[in-house]
């Protein structure tokens, strides 16, 4: 999936000339859980195929999550109808809802709160209408648990494995995350989230190739491209992968909706902005090896740096 919109719209993730793990969440200016981009149709086709043919890796839920799932349906549908009225609408007659997705020409009538009125679980249903991955974290016993989720575009992790896991256990594989106390600080931050005050953050990595569906389950396939990166092809082959993550407290269940919108940009497009080019070169040059390893960059980091250097020379020469 290539970036087709204006470059200025790309959610460029960096500040400063170095990068370290941090809680870089900020209060959301425009409190909307999902965003409809120019790639909507293309990405929805991909998502719906993944949900149909790979349900085990793309959708998981525990039985006690139904009320939270309905809260997500309500929040997302209300946001779609309010922010994209020409593309989405909802008619509510008491508990009977008629949701229209005009982009995909879908009209669904269901009874809000009644799972039997939908062909699948509520979270799975709404997942068929948004580009974002949707994760439900339920709060109990002073902790957050990943109790339901729809994940079509993961950055090399497994929803099936992580289901039911506590927040800190989910992040256990990140080097330094626990040792620096970051897992505890972020958990405390999340547990203080309030309904009506959503937050957002950006996360990034590099990847060889332009697949959105980089699941852990298929890593043996898509990971092969990491071995094919050279300084000559890095501009086209390597992409910066940015996740715009949004956090909403759901008041009824006191759980948290975590939405992840993934964007890919080939390095040659990033390099077209000379400020970004210099900044990203500085960041990648200085990036500690444990972060590069975890983000899956180490194998081709030098090739990317060579490519970026060449682009910088080109900029200096003009």
Question: What are the backbone dihedrals phi and psi of residue 126, each rounded to the nearest 5 degrees, phi first?
Answer: -70, -25
| Nearest approach, Cβ of residue 82 and other proteins (Å) | 37
Q: Which stretch binds other proteins (CB under 8 A): 32-40, 215-223, 263-271, 275-283?
A: 215-223
In angstroms, the CA 186 to CA 167 distance is: 9
Pairing of strands 106-111, 26-27: unpaired
Q: Report if residue 161 touches other proteins, rule: CB under 8 A.
A: yes
Instruction: Look up tokens 């030098």; give the residue.
Output: 302
Which residue in 85, 164, 181, 251 binds other proteins (CB under 8 A)?
A: 164
Q: Which of residues 222-281 bind other proteins (CB under 8 A)?
A: 223-224, 226-227
Nearer to other proteins, 60 or 131 (CB): 60
Q: Which parts of the chain fold into alpha helices (H)?
A: 40-53, 55-58, 66-83, 122-127, 159-162, 167-170, 182-191, 219-222, 234-237, 267-270, 274-286, 289-294, 301-317
Burial of 29 (0-12, 13-18, 19+ CB in 10 A): exposed
Which residue in 81, 90, 103, 163 binds other proteins (CB under 8 A)?
A: 163
Instruction: Look up tokens 């099936």; give the residue.
Output: 160
- How far from the centroid of its chain's Cα atoms is residue 199's Cα? 14
| Nearest approach, Cβ of residue 298 and other proteins (Å) | 12
Which residue in 20, 172, 252, 290 binds other proteins (CB under 8 A)?
A: 172
Q: Report if residue 118 touches other proteins, rule: CB under 8 A.
A: no
Pairing of strands 255-266, 106-111: unpaired
Q: Which stretch binds other proteins (CB under 8 A): 36-44, 105-113, 168-176, 235-243?
A: 168-176
Q: Report if residue 56 touches other proteins, rule: CB under 8 A.
A: yes
Residue 201 catalytic? yes
Residues that bind other proteins (CB under 8 A): 56-57, 158, 160-165, 169, 172-173, 216-220, 223-224, 226-227
């Amino acid at each position: 999936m290539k970036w087709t919109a204006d470059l200025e719209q790309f959610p460029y993730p960096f500040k400063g000339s170095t990068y370290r793990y941090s809680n870089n969440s900020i209060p959301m200016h425009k409190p909307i859980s999902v965003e409809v981009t120019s790639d909507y149709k293309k990405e929805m086709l991909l998502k719906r195929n993944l949900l149909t043919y790979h349900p085990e890796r793309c959708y998981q839920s525990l039985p006690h999550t139904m009320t939270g799932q309905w809260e997500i349906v309500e929040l997302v549908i209300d946001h779609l109808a309010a922010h994209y009225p020409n593309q989405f609408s909802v008619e509510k007659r008491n508990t009977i809802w008629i949701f229209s997705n005009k982009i995909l020409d879908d009209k669904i009538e269901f009874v809000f709160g009644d799972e039997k009125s939908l062909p699948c679980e509520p979270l799975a249903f709404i997942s068929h209408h948004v580009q974002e991955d949707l994760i439900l974290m339920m709060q109990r016993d002073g902790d957050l648990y990943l109790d339901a989720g729809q994940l079509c575009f993961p950055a090399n992790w497994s929803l099936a494995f992580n289901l039911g896991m506590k927040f800190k256990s989910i992040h256990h594989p990140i080097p330094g995350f626990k040792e620096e106390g970051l897992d505890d600080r972020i958990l405390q931050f999340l547990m203080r989230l309030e309904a009506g005050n959503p937050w957002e953050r950006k996360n990034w990595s590099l990847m060889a190739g332009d697949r959105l569906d980089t699941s852990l389950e298929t890593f043996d396939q898509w990971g092969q491209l990491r071995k094919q990166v050279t300084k000559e092809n890095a501009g086209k082959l390597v992409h910066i992968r940015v996740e715009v993550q949004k956090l909403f407290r759901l008041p009824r269940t006191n759980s948290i909706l975590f939405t992840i919108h993934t964007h890919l940009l080939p390095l040659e497009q990033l390099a077209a902005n000379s400020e970004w080019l210099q900044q990203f070169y500085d960041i990648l040059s200085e990036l500690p090896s444990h972060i590069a390893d975890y983000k899956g960059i180490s194998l081709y980091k030098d090739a990317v740096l060579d490519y970026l250097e060449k682009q910088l020379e080109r900029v200096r020469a003009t």
